Amino acid sequence: MVEFTVPTSEREQMLDITSLVREAVNKSGVSDGVAFCHVPHTTAAITINEN
Indicate the residue type of 28. S
Residue 51 has pLDDT above 80, yes or no: no
Q: Stretch 2-11: mean pLDDT, rounded?
A: 92
User: What pLDDT shows up at residue 17?
Assistant: 94
Q: Are 34 and 48 in contact (CB under 8 A)?
A: no
Q: Stretch 15-21: mean pLDDT, rounded?
A: 94
Where b means 16+ CB within 10 Å and e means fewer, 22-44 reads eebeeeeeeeeeeeeeeeeeeee
Task: Tell me the pTM.
Answer: 0.79
* Percent over 90 (pLDDT), the chain: 76
